[in-house]
Amino acid sequence: MGQIESVTCDVLDGILQISFNRPEKRNALTMPMFTAITEALRDADRRDDVRCIVVTGNGSVFCAGHDLKAFEEWPQQPHDPVPTFLHAIADVRKPLVIAAHGSVAGIGVTWLLHADWVVTSAETTFKLPFIELGIAPEAASSQLLQRAVGLPRAKRLLLGGETFTGAEAYQWGLVAELASSDDVSTRAFERARFFASKDPVLLRRIKDWLHPSDEYHQRIDQEVAEINAAIHRKRTVTGS
């Protein structure tokens, strides 16, 4: 399991912890980070000693989404870092727990739609800024978000780009559990230990039923194609 400075991966007592370690940039994801996370997720699914995965962010913010400077490396082809990451998060068959604290944006939010348990605080803020950035949403969120929160709210969040809170995310069903700001990570690990103690075959079967990954890959590819097209249009207009 490869590691880079801005992503750490450690296995303890059957739990793989993936931590974003770029707090000075609000844990915004770079291309090497996308690749490192993809490798960790795929490796975890192959390993018998990993029973659950927990994703956390160091510092005051969970994840500010895709690093804006990294958009210079778009368009992305199917085997490039971002598309492979998006397919990997849809494919994970081990229970996935995310501790989302402080502030969460972009891919940090859309990843939650592929998690099995999300812990946050009432004060955490969430934003899907795709309409402001002039790009399509990703991670099959154009399909999954309306299932999670309903069509009218999905339109508010994707078309309106409205900021919402952890309390609202819990009320709408986007996250599974609220904790105090200081306890988000602790509660996430408590849930991970619960999953790690259960029958992995049964957990996988239930996840296959609830989250059939094959259903999402086509939408992920469609969204990536729309992001590529939007970036091409912007560069044509600006001449850059």
Distance CA 70, CA 60 (A): 22
Please tell me the total count of domains within the chain: 1
Q: Does residue 87 lie within any of the structural domains?
A: yes
Q: Does residue 187 lie within any of the structural domains?
A: no
- Determine what percent of the chain is predicted with pLDDT higher than 90: 93
Taking residue 203's Cβ as centre, other Cβ atoms within 10 Å add up to 18
The reported pTM is 0.95
Q: Does residue 174 lie within any of the structural domains?
A: yes
Q: Over 60: is that where the pLDDT of 200 sits? A: yes
DSSP code at position 79: T
Phi, psi (deg, nearest 5) at residue 16: -90, 120
Q: What is the CATH number of the domain that holds 168?
A: 3.90.226.10
Residue 199 DSSP SS3 = coil
Q: Does residue 195 lie within any of the structural domains?
A: no
Distance CA 102, CA 236 (A): 37
Residue type, 203: L
Q: Does residue 166 lie within any of the structural domains?
A: yes
Element (H, E) at 96: strand 96-100
Total H helices, total E strands in the chain = 10, 9
pLDDT at res. 121: 98
What is the average pLDDT across 64-92?
Answer: 96
Q: Does residue 71 lie within any of the structural domains?
A: yes
pLDDT at res. 4: 80
Q: How far is CA 177 from CA 54, 115, 143, 183, 184, in A?
A: 15, 12, 23, 11, 9
Q: How far is CA 155 from CA 92, 108, 158, 239, in A?
A: 27, 19, 5, 32
Q: Does residue 214 lie within any of the structural domains?
A: yes
Token code pair at residue 34: 């996308």
CA-based radius of gyration for the chain: 17
Express each pLDDT in 93-106 by its tens digit.
999 999 999 999 99
Burial 89-106 (b: 16+ CB within 10 A, else e): bbbbbbbbbbbbbbbbbb
pLDDT at res. 51: 97
pLDDT at res. 240: 58
- Which domain range does residue 150 map to? 7-179+210-238
Q: Does residue 185 lie within any of the structural domains?
A: no
pLDDT at res. 213: 87
